[in-house]
Structure formats: C-alpha cells, structure tokens
Amino acid sequence: MAGPLPVGDPAPEDGHLPASALASTSPLSAYIHVPYCRVRCGYCDFNTYTASELGDARRDDYASQVAREIEFAARVLGPSVRPFDTVFLGGGTPTLLPAADLVTMLDALRTRFGIADGAEVTVEANPDSVDAEYLHALKAGGFTRVSFGVQSAVPHVLATLDRTHDPERVPEVVASAKEAGLDTSIDLIYGTPGESLDDWRQSLDFALALDTGHISAYALIVEEGTALERRIRRGEIEPTDDDLMADMYELAESKLSEAGFRWYEVSNWARSPREQSRHNVAYWVNNDWWGFGPGAHSHVGGVRWWNVKHPHAYAQRVNSGVSPAAGRETPDAQARDLEEVLLRMRLASGLPINAVDAVRRADAQALVGEGLIDDIAYEAGNLVLTFRGRLLADYVVRRLTD
C-alpha cells in the first residue's frame, strides 16, 4: 500500500468548491483508480490491495461505488459540469474487474458529465489479465486505448520486479487489442537490480517488434517501504548505479528515435502527435481533472483534494452520500509557479521563458551554455531540454526554482 496521504485542510462532506474553482473553463479529464491487484509487485508503492488486504470491501460492488462518486461530483460542479476530454482507468489492475464493470463506470461518466467527441479513453492492463473477448468488449463499450504494463521482456528482470505475466503472451494480446480497434501503448521499466544493458536492449527490441504507437520507459525508483527497498537494505541485491541508468536512457532514445518515435515527455515517446497520451499531457500542462476511487487525487480550478485510501473507507463514504475526500488544499501563486516549472520542463514543448523571473532567466541562459537547454528554442522564447538536459532534468529544475 502507498505511503500516507498529504497533510491538508479538512475537506467538506458536501464537496463544496469555491466560486473561483467552479468558474474554471480548463479542459476536464477523469481518472478512475481501480485499487485491486492479484499480487503485489515488489517495487510498487501505489494505493493497491490484494484480496487478503481488502477486509470487508467488496470488489463486486466497486463499479456501483464509483458511479455514486461520479453522481456526487456532478452535483458539486452543477452548471460547471462539462464533458471529459480524456478518461484514464488506472490502478492497480483495472482489468481484474469484468469488462462490463469498466464499461459501467465509463457509462456513468458519459451520463452525468458527457464524453467529448474524439475523447481519448484509456485503460491500463496487465498482459495476463485480458483476452480477445475482453478487449473487444472494451472497444464496444467506448474505450479507445489500452496501455499494457510489460515492464520487461527478460524473465529474471520480471522475477525481481515480482511481475507474473509471461512475455511470450504479450504479442498475442497486443495483436488482439489492435484487431479490436484499440490504440496500444507499452510501459517499460529500466534500472531493475541485476538488469544489464543487454537485458534492456532485449526489452526495447521486444517492445518495438510489437509495432505500437506509444512506448513509455520509466527509470525504476526504489520507494521506501516496498519489498524491493527492503531487499536492497538487507544486501540481498544491489541497486543499479547512475552511470548504467544513464546508459539505459541513452539506449532507449537511440533505438526509439531510429524506429520513428519522438520524445514528447522525458519518459514517453510516440510515433506521431496523435499517438501521444493526451491524458498524461493534461496533467503536465495542469488542466483540471477529477480523480475517482480510493486514494485518487483531483484538481479543479486551483483546488486540490485526495480521497481516503482504503476501499472499505471509500465505500462507506460514497454509499452514505458524502465526499470521499480526506483533505484538500489551494496552492498559492508561488507553489503554482513552482509546479509549472516542474511539469512543463519535462515536455518537449518546454516552458515559456517568461514563466520564470529575471533571476531565473539568467540561470536559464547559463544552462544553455552548459548544453542542458536547447539554444535554438531559447532564442525563440522557450526553455526546452537537450538530450543531456533530459539526463539531468532534476538538476535543471533545481537551478530554475531554488
């Protein structure tokens, strides 16, 4: 299970939002968190639960619970309700639920809010949790995209991550998704303890052979309190060193760009702008989103809040007709400016120079000289990371914000 929730102000039971938030006209996205997993992966600190951890919470009633929160959210927004431009079902493993349950939640969004024409509607899936019939049911229910959590094609790397799927089955389910008419994306993780550069090359080649339009490659972060962190602390395995991590990222950029992919965010590549994850871009440009489900976070008109974590507590609240929010906050202008730098500097579109003050513009000019910010983009008024800048993105952001 994930760490503690943020510390914030009390959240009103009626979900009331200030007039300034209700006046927002930002594009609106929906995130639905499905907190169930068959087994707990050793590296994961997401808000997820196996069957033995659920207590009295009912998985078979989950779609109805989320539908109640969707109805509650529509009442809170009132006349400010607007169609969702993107929808994302994540977890956990959403596809542990029947396809009909996922469609039920999507239908609730459609009924109470509306879903914009041409909206991107994505579901995360483990390769061993779906088949052709399931994927066709998702497409028929209104889903447009599936993101497969492949992570690696190398058995010993998957074993270290506690992933249970068989890599040999991945091409079959990706082909079934395409046949159903769904766009496909592959998630990979690099830097697993014991993973070599050749192992990572094998995973990249495997992902490219699947001929999807989108590939994510995330550096493994060893989170405190996870099983993987405990194994490293006990000396059972050694963490991957920074130089190898950098080599792995460089290899990803090389192979993906040669195959026609272009980076649009530090950890994400797409073959065309249409195949980028519009939902994730909505987060990075700080659009509005409403998060449904236990532990989900929301942001509407500058107000942020987060739901109670455990599915049982969540069910009690939504079934009682009160907000499932555990707390909320309204960041001040300084915090919002900091967040804009943190998020937009990860994008290939970059950050407008006028988004930072005069002192930081001098730092930005120095970063150009260090080869970390693109000189041509800088002359055009934008701060965009070079390839070397992507490797040192955290350093660049610190220079622009400290």
Q: How many Cβ atoms from other residues are within 10 Å of residue 350's Cβ?
A: 20
Closest CA to 349 of 372, 309, 380, 325: 380
CATH number at residue 244: 3.80.30.20
Task: Kindly state the DSSP code that residue 39 receives in the 8-state scheme.
Answer: S
344 and 261: one domain?
no
Among 249, 268, 284, the domain-final residue is: 284
In a domain, 62, yes or no: yes
Q: Positive or negative, the Cα torsion across 212, 216, 217, 222?
A: negative
The confidence score (pLDDT) of residue 365 equals: 95
Work out the angle between the directed axes of helices 99-112 and 132-141 (0-180°, nearest 10). Answer: 10
Work out the angle at residue 143's Cα, subtended by the Cα atoms of residues 138 and 148, and round it to the nearest 5 degrees. 80
In a domain, 289, yes or no: no
User: Phi then psi for 71, rounded to 5 degrees?
Assistant: -65, -40
In a domain, 314, yes or no: no
260 and 380: one domain?
no
> Distance between CA atoms of 271 and 257, rounded to whole angstroms?
9
277 and 360: one domain?
no
Cα-Cα-Cα-Cα torsion 67, 69, 74, 77, nearest 10 degrees, comes to: -160
Instruction: Tell me how many domains the chain contains.
Output: 2
361 and 232: one domain?
no
139 and 249: one domain?
yes
268 and 360: one domain?
no
In a domain, 295, yes or no: no
Among 248, 263, 284, the domain-final residue is: 284
342 and 229: one domain?
no
Q: How many Cβ atoms from other residues are within 10 Å of residue 206's Cβ?
A: 18
In a domain, 12, yes or no: no
All residues at 6 or more sequence positions from 342 whose CB lies less than 8 Å from its CB, including other chains: 397, 401
> Distance between CA atoms of 167 and 152, rounded to whole angstroms?
8
157 and 61: one domain?
yes
167 and 226: one domain?
yes
- Report residue 203 CA to chain centroid gap: 21
Q: Contact, 383 vs 350, CB < 8 A?
A: yes
Work out the angle at residue 89's Cα, subtended by the Cα atoms of residues 27 and 12, and round it to the nearest 5 degrees. 65
362 and 240: one domain?
no
41 and 122: one domain?
yes
In a domain, 67, yes or no: yes
The pair of structure tokens assigned to 159 is 């074993």
> Distance between CA atoms of 338 and 329, rounded to whole angstroms?
16
Among 284, 315, 343, the domain-final residue is: 284
In a domain, 302, yes or no: no
In a domain, 182, yes or no: yes
Residue 338 belongs to domain spanning: 332-402
pLDDT in tens, the chain (402 residues): 456 777 788 999 999 999 999 999 999 999 999 999 887 787 777 888 887 677 767 789 999 999 999 999 999 999 999 999 999 999 999 999 999 999 999 999 999 999 999 999 999 999 999 999 999 999 999 999 999 999 999 999 999 998 888 899 999 999 999 999 999 999 999 999 999 999 999 999 999 999 999 999 999 988 888 888 898 999 999 999 999 999 999 999 999 999 999 999 999 999 999 999 999 999 999 999 999 999 999 999 999 999 999 999 999 999 999 999 999 999 999 999 999 999 999 999 999 999 998 889 999 999 999 999 999 999 999 999 999 999 999 999 999 998
Map 323-368 to HEC letters.
CCEEEEECCCHHHHHHHHHHHHCCECCCEEHHHCCHHHHHHHHHHH
275 and 345: one domain?
no
> Distance between CA atoms of 402 and 399, rounded to whole angstroms?
6
Task: Kindly state the DSSP code that residue 38 receives in the 8-state scheme.
Answer: S
